[in-house]
Amino acid sequence: MNSYLDNLNWRYATKKFDSEKEISEEDLNTLLEAIRLSPSSYGLQPYHVIVIKNKGLREKLKSASWGQSQITDASHLIVFANNTSFDADLIDRYLTNVSQTREIELNNLQQYGDFMKSKLIDLPNNLKESWTAKQAYLALGNLLSAAASLKIDACPMEGFEANVYNELLGLNDKKLNTAVVTAVGYRAAEDDTQHYRKVRQSKELLFTHI
């Protein structure tokens, strides 16, 4: 466990990436598997993840990201796009997956499916979108921890124009919205931020034991 905490202390929101260093295919696949295995409410994973290496596209996205160099200098850019809305089909697809994976008759899952639908389907669209975005952030957390364990740097970013991302990535037609993006790669030696002391609340302020 100490090594896990050491990795979290090692990581920081990298401001300058070494544009000459790329993540290996093996390590990239590990990061993506960490995302895939992330928890989500009911296990529904109401989001999609776009992995971008294309430099030309990232140049365009940089313009929509307040000119931040991480967008183009990192090895890869990972975009978490949450569903802007959903209907019963999201739940039905999940139940089919459960049935096939666990070899359970689909009709034996109907009661659970009806319960999920009763809690989710009638929500207003703004609450649905807020809920799906929260699920995407859970996956982001898993990515950051996995990257730290591999000594891969990452910078989660909210400073971007989501509507431009959505247009460039063709997300509008898929009823998806860019929730958060993460640049992953390796820190540049001249990134002074890596030497800053980590600033967090004290345990006394952050935690209440009852």
Going along the chain from its start, the domains and CATH numbers come out as: 2-206 (3.40.109.10)
Residues in the chain, total: 210
Alpha-carbon torsion (144, 163, 73, 67), positive or negative: negative
Mean local confidence (pLDDT), 172-196: 97
Query: Rounded CA gap, 145 and 196, in Å?
Result: 19
Rg over CA atoms, the chain: 19
pLDDT at position 2 is 84
pLDDT at res. 3 = 94
Q: Is 208 left (phi over 0), alpha (psi -120 to 50) or beta?
A: beta
Rounded CA separation 201/24 (Å): 35
- The tens digit of pLDDT for each residue in 49-68 reads 999 999 999 999 999 999 99
**Running DSSP on this structure, what letter comes out for residue 179?**
E
Predicted confidence band at 1 (pLDDT cuts at 50, 70, 90)? Answer: low
- d(C-alpha 194, C-alpha 44), whole Å: 36
The SS3 assignment for 122 reads coil
* Cβ neighbourhood burial of 27 (10 Å; 0-12, 13-18, 19+): middle
Q: pLDDT tens across 82-132, in order? A: 999 999 999 999 999 999 999 999 999 999 999 999 999 999 999 999 999
pTM given for the model: 0.96
The kind and range of the H/E element at 203 are helix 203-206
At 72, the pLDDT band (50, 70, 90 cuts) reads: very high
Segment 8-43, tens digit of pLDDT: 999 999 999 999 999 999 999 999 999 999 999 999
Percent of the chain clearing pLDDT 90 (strictly above): 99
- Nearest CA among 119, 136, 127, 117 for reference residue 45: 136
CB neighbours (10 Å) of residue 11?
A: 20
